[in-house]
Homo-oligomer: A and B are copies of this chain.
Amino acid sequence: MIIVMNKQASQTEIEGVVARITEVGLKAHLSEGSFRTIIGVIGEKKLIAELPVEAMAGVEKAISVTESYKLVSREFKPEDTIIDVDGILIGGRQLVVMAGPCAVESREQLLESAFIVKNAGAQFLRGGAYKPRTSPYAFQGLEEKGLELLAEAREQTGLKIVTEVVDVQTVSVVSSYADVLQIGARNMQNFQLLKAVGKTDKPVLLKRGMAATLKEWLNAAEYIMSEGNYNVIFCERGIRTFENYTRNTLDLSAVAALKQVSHLPVIVDPSHGTGVWKLVRPMARAAVAADADGLMVEVHPNPAKALSDGPQSLTPENFSAMMQEIDTVARAIGRSL
């Protein structure tokens, strides 16, 4: 249930409602907007139904929510969520670009990549230190050594760091290095991991599962938010279909749908979304036109030599060209790079 407070509701009234909610064993989540406060009530249906909400002081109305997700919904929070990562805003008028190699391979490769993407205008460096790989015999990442290299790249370039966390055990170490924690597609329904990152104070970039419906994705974000971490960013990265010309089918309608259903920012990964570098630039432009809040793109100094995902990585030249193109498209729809 979502409780909408009066515009004039006092702090005491708000606290009173919260107290009533918690004393019967339910949880209250506050969303304080510019005009009014909205309270999400979570817990057993029967208890919620018995709550005498209309009678509480300061309450304007109660909306019963049939969907299983609440905190992620625009009903709960009508205004766009803008996440502040040390001064870089995600979800605002300005787009955010996260770029870099698929995996951290070496100090040279990472630093070279970092300067390339920094110079082209990206705000975030991406790069996997822990790599979930289909085969147990494939390169699994440099692990903590990779995190150290990412931190060094941040120091040298000023870029923020987004990197994947693959299990509960390493949430703490990854959090100590990263600015944004990434949950990969294969872990979108690893609920223990979602809860664990929900307890950190780092923003979480939540990739869509390969066969996840919009509803399941929204619920995965709800897992994170229900633990108290409200800074979740959706990342569309393609779904699995019968089409095999592309590695995945990039579902840009999901971007537009999420922006309508939820208040959270949405970014797009056209590199994994297509698996074909020649399609990355047009899909990056399309994502921006569909109102995505940013992009995550694979860039490698030398794609032909990449240890993973070479065929979908942009060269520095192509990345630069992409940045110019999306800037123009962004301006056309009233945003900017």
Contact = CB atoms under 8 A, between A and B. Distances in A.
A222 B136 contact: yes
Given A68-B137, A241-B242, A246-B253, A285 B333 contact: yes
A104 to B, nearest CB: 18
Nearest to A283: B253
B286 A252 contact: yes
Interface size class of A (residues with CB under 8 A): 35 or more
Contact of A290 (B191, B244, B283): B283
Nearest to A278: B260
A291 interface: yes
Interface stretch (A11-19, A75-83, A127-135): A127-135
Contacts of A214: 243, 245
A112 interface: no
Contacts of A135: 68-69, 219, 222
A192 B213 contact: no
Contact of A251 (B68, B223, B243, B259): B243
A219 to B, nearest CB: 5
29 contacts: A43-B137, A68-B138, A133-B191, A136-B195, A136-B222, A136-B223, A167-B190, A168-B168, A190-B190, A209-B211, A211-B211, A213-B243, A213-B245, A239-B243, A239-B249, A240-B242, A244-B244, A245-B254, A250-B253, A252-B252, A252-B283, A255-B282, A260-B278, A282-B291, A286-B286, A289-B289, A325-B333, A329-B329, A332-B332
A187 interface: yes
A96 to B, nearest CB: 18
Contacts of A163: none
Contact of A273 (B68, B244, B253): B253
B187 A190 contact: yes
Nearest to A166: B192
B242 A257 contact: no
A240 to B, nearest CB: 4
Contacts of A222: 135-136
A68 B282 contact: no
B279 A219 contact: no
Contact of A245 (B215, B252, B290, B325): B215
A331 interface: yes
A138 B215 CA distance: 14
A315 interface: no
Contacts of A283: 252-253, 256, 290
A152 interface: no
